[in-house]
Structure 1
Amino acid sequence: MRIYFATNRRHIEDRSPPFGDRYNAEGPAIYRVGFAEVTKVADQIHAPDDGFVINSVHVAPEAPAATRGGEELLGSHAIFDELTRKSRAQKRNVIVYIHGFNSSFQTAIQRAAQLHDLWLDGDKEPLVFAFSWPADGGDGLGFGQNGETAHKWKYFSDRDDAESSGKAIARSLRRLLDYLMELRKQDIATQAEPCEQCLHLVAHSMGNWALRHALLSLRTLISGARLPKIFTNAFLMAADEDADALEHKHKLGLLPQLADAVHVYHSKRDLALLISDTTKLNPDRLGSWGPRIVDGLDSNIYGIDCAAVSETAEWKHGRHQYYRLRPEVIADVRQVIAGRAPDEIAGRKPIRPGRLYRIEPAT
C-alpha cells in the first residue's frame, strides 16, 4: 500500500526512514512531502505497529524559483495530482491523519497504514495522507507513568513540538486549499463532473493540540476569513485537548468551519489522558469526558463515549489506542464514513439523541 505524507521533521538522506525527531533544518514551519510504500505482514486483522513494514520512502523533489528561472517546483503538486487521479478513478475517499505524542516517523506511517487497512468505505480502502510532526518517539505512554523525570519532560517537549508544528500543518492545508480551488476552476472550464469522493480528517491524542494551532495559523494565512469547508468528517480521537476546546475560537472552535461534522470519541478510562489531567496540571481532557457542553455548540458536533470499548491487548497503550484497535470503534467510524445518520449507527446507544452516544461492547 502507498501512504502519502507531509512532515516538518528533519530530512536525513542517509537514514532509513529518512526523517529524524527534530524540526526541518530550515525551521518548524517548513515541510516536505512524499509517499511510503508499506507492506502488511501480520495475519491478524488488527495488527500492531510492527505488523506493517516500510519498504521505501520517496521524498518529492522541490526547488526554489531562483534555481528554475522563476518557476518554483512544489513537491505537493505532484502528490496532490496523484491523490486526485486515484481518488477519482478508483472512487476512494482521502483521510488526512495527524498522529499523537511519542511517535516516530516510522510509527506515524505504520498507524496511517492501519487506517488504510481498516477505515473502509464499504469495501473501498481510503487513500491516507499523514502529517508527521517531530514527536520524540519511544516506548510506553510517554507521560512519565513510571516516575522517571526524563519521561515527564518528554511530554512537555512533545507538546511544544506539536504547537510549533501548527504553522507547518496550516501551510500544507493552505496548499491543499489552493490546489482544490484550482482543480474546481479546471472542472468548471472543462465541464467535468465534480468529484464525489470525500476528504476526512482524523487527529489522535496530542495531534489535536497540533490541530488547534494549525487552525489558528490557517486563519492567519487566509487573512482572518472564514475557513472553507473541505472535510466531510473530522474525527477527534482521544483528544489531549481541553474539554471546552470546541467552545472557543482560540482553541478548536474554528473546526466546524472546516468540516461538515465533528465527532469526538472519548473515554474516561483513558489512562494516558488521566495522567495528563492529574500530573501535568492540564484541565479536564476532551478525550476523557467529551465536550464540556453541547448546548450552544454547532449542531454538527457529536460526542461518542468509548469507555466500554477502550481496553486493548497491550497494557502500554493505556486504553488510548482504541480508535485503531477496537473492532467496535472501527465499525462505528466506518458507518460514519459511509454516511449513516448518527441515530442509525449500529452498536451505539443514544445518551442524548442527535448529540451524544455510547458505543456498546460487541457480544
Structure 2
Amino acid sequence: MRTLTLYYATNRNHLGQRWTPNSYGQDFSADRPNNLRFGRVTVEVSANKVTDYLNDKVNSRSGDGENLAGYIEKKLRKKNLISAFVEAEKPTNATNSPLASTTAFNELKKQMEMKRDLVVFIHGFNVNWFEAVASAMALELMLNRRSQDNDKLKDTSVFLFSWPSNGAMMRNKAYLSDRNDARDSSVAVARGFLKLRDFLMTLRPKHNDPTQNECGQQLHLLCHSMGNYVLQHALVSLDKLNNQKHFPQLFQHIFMCAPDVDDNVFEDKRPMVNLYRLARHVTVYYNNGDLAMYISDYTKGNTDRLGHNGTARPLQLHNKVSQVNCSDIVGGVTEHSYYLWATVNEDIRQSIDDLAYDDSARKRKYKSAQVWRLT
C-alpha cells in the first residue's frame, strides 16, 4: 500500500465536523465565499495499481492520469482522512486567522526543502471535492514519473485550491452556477495569493534564523478549464486588494490548460492583459477538438474559447506568453483533461525542469508567432 498526502485550501462548506470534516460540499463556506480553509487530506492506495496507471499507454504514449484520478477518487470515497488546520476563535481580520495559512505554508516549505518545486492547482467546472482531490493527487504522481527513473530530478508537490464547483451535471444550470461560483471565488484566490506573498517575504535571507531561509525552489500555477475563469476574476480582485500596485511575481510558470475563457482575454483592456506580471512564463494548452470548449462556445452564449483555438490574435501576445496546440496528440472530441496524461503532462514537467522550449527532448514543433504544436 501507498499513502498519498495532499495539502489544500478551499472556500467550500465543510461536511461533518469543522476541523475533521468527512468532505467538503458544493456550497460556499458558511463564513463567506472569500473565507479560506487550509488543511491536509490522506488516502491509502495500491502502489502496484498506481504504477500500472503511470505505465499505461494512451494513444501510444505512457501515462494514464485520467483513469488514475478515477481510481484515487474511488479510494477517497471509501476512506480518507481530512485534517483542517485550526483557526483562532477570534480571527484578527475579516477573513480567517493567519494561523491556518501559515501552518499550511510552513508544511509546504518543508516539502519544498526536500522536493523540487510546488504546483498550485485550480480545478475546473463540474468537479466535486473528491474529484478535485483525486485530480490533484494524480497530477502530482504524473508529474513525478520521470523523477522516479532519474535520480537527478527531485519530486514536485501539488497544492490544491478547490472552489465550490457543483460536481453534478444539470444542463445549462450547472454551468452557469459554476461560472457564478468561479467569479465569487476570485476574492478568496486573490487573498490566498497575497497571503502567499506575505509568507514568502518572511523568508528573505535578512532573517538570522536559519530555519526561516528561502528554500530556493520555484512556485508554479496550473489552472484547468473554468479554473482559468477563477484566475481571470482573481486578477481583478488582486488589483483592488493590492491597491493597484504591480502584481507580485509569485510564479515561475503559469499553465493554462483547456482554458474556458475568451480567446481575446490577453488583449489590451481585457481581463488577463497583465497576467504575465504574475509569472516569468505563461503557457496556454489548447485542443481544436475539445467538445467542452465547443459547448461553452455555442450552447452557453460565450465567445470563442481560448482552450479551443488559442488566442484570437497571437501576434499581439506578450513575449512571456506562449501557446501549445495539443490537437494532434490528444485526438477526439472528449479529451478535456489532457493535462493529466501522456505527452501534455510530460511537456508541463519539462517546463518545470526549465528545459528550453526548442530542446530536442521535447515532443513539440515550432509553428509560428509563439505557437508550438505537440507531436
Does residue 290 in structure 1 map to residue 310 in structure 2?
A: yes
Name the CA distance, whole Å, in 2 between partners of 1:214 and 1:66.
Answer: 23
Q: Give, as a single letter, the amino acid of the residue that structure 2 aligns with 1:220.
A: K
Q: Deviations over 1:166-187 (max 9, x none)?
A: 1111111111111111122xx2
Does residue 102 in structure 1 map to residue 126 in structure 2?
A: yes
**Kindly tell me: are residues 136 and 277 of structure 1, through their superposed partners in 2, closer, same or farther at Cα, counting changes over 3 Å?**
same
Does residue 34 in structure 1 map to residue 43 in structure 2?
A: no
**Kindly tell me: are residues 285 and 338 of structure 1, through their superposed partners in 2, closer, same or farther at Cα, counting changes over 3 Å?**
same
**Kindly tell me: are residues 199 and 286 of structure 1, through their superposed partners in 2, closer, same or farther at Cα, counting changes over 3 Å?**
same
The secondary structure found in structure 2 opposite 1:183 is coil
Q: Superposition RMSD on alpha carbons, in Å?
A: 2.1
**Kindly tell me: are residues 256 and 40 of structure 1, through their superposed partners in 2, closer, same or farther at Cα, counting changes over 3 Å?**
farther
Name the CA distance, whole Å, in 2 between partners of 1:79 and 1:249.
Answer: 35
Does residue 236 in structure 1 map to residue 239 in structure 2?
A: no
Contact 2:21 2:83 in 1 (8 A): no
1:38 deviates by 3.0
Q: Give, as a single letter, the amino acid of the residue that structure 2 aligns with 1:331.
A: E
Q: Deviations over 1:211-243 (max 9, x none)?
A: 111111111111000101110000000000000
The secondary structure found in structure 2 opposite 1:246 is coil
Q: Give, as a single letter, the amino acid of the residue that structure 1 aligns with 2:346.
A: A
Aligned to 2:208: 190
Aligned to 2:167: 137
1:4 to 3, 7, 13: 7
Contact 1:216 1:250 in 2 (8 A): no
Aligned counterparts, 1:1-363, within 5 A: 1-14=4-17, 17-41=22-46, 42=49, 43-45=52-54, 46-47=64-65, 48=67, 49-52=69-72, 53-54=75-76, 55-65=80-90, 72=97, 74-88=99-113, 90-120=114-144, 123=147, 124-138=154-168, 142=169, 150-184=170-204, 187-190=205-208, 194-248=214-268, 250-311=270-331, 318-325=334-341, 327-344=342-359, 346-352=362-368, 355-360=370-375
1:153 deviates by 1.1
1:63 deviates by 1.4
Higher relative contact order (CA 8 A, sep 6+): 2
Which moves more between the two structures, 122-131 or 97-106? 122-131
Contact 1:2 1:38 in 2 (8 A): yes
Q: Deviations over 1:91-128 (max 9, x none)?
A: 32101000000001111110000111011395132221
Q: Deviations over 1:268-308 (max 9, x none)?
A: 10001011111111111000111222323210100100011
In structure 1, stretches of 5+ residues that fail to align are 143-149
Aligned to 1:146: none
TM-score of the pair, normalised by structure 1 = 0.88
1:64 deviates by 4.4
Name the CA distance, whole Å, in 2 between partners of 1:240 and 1:104.
Answer: 18
Percent identical pairs in the alignment equals 35
Q: Give, as a single letter, the amino acid of the residue that structure 2 aligns with 1:9.
A: R
Name the CA distance, whole Å, in 2 between partners of 1:63 and 1:80.
Answer: 17
Name the CA distance, whole Å, in 2 between partners of 1:260 and 1:297.
Answer: 14
How many residue pairs get aligned? The number is 338
Q: Give, as a single letter, the amino acid of the residue that structure 2 aligns with 1:209.
A: Y
1:72 deviates by 4.8
**Kindly tell me: are residues 61 and 278 of structure 1, through their superposed partners in 2, closer, same or farther at Cα, counting changes over 3 Å?**
same
Q: Give, as a single letter, the amino acid of the residue that structure 2 aligns with 1:128.
A: V
Aligned to 1:147: none
**Kindly tell me: are residues 17 and 311 of structure 1, through their superposed partners in 2, closer, same or farther at Cα, counting changes over 3 Å?**
farther
Name the CA distance, whole Å, in 2 between partners of 1:22 and 1:4.
Answer: 20
Q: Give, as a single letter, the amino acid of the residue that structure 2 aligns with 1:324.
A: L
Q: Give, as a single letter, the amino acid of the residue that structure 2 aligns with 1:309.
A: I
TM-score of the pair, normalised by structure 2 = 0.85
Name the CA distance, whole Å, in 1 between partners of 2:91 and 2:186.
Answer: 27
Contact 2:117 2:218 in 1 (8 A): yes
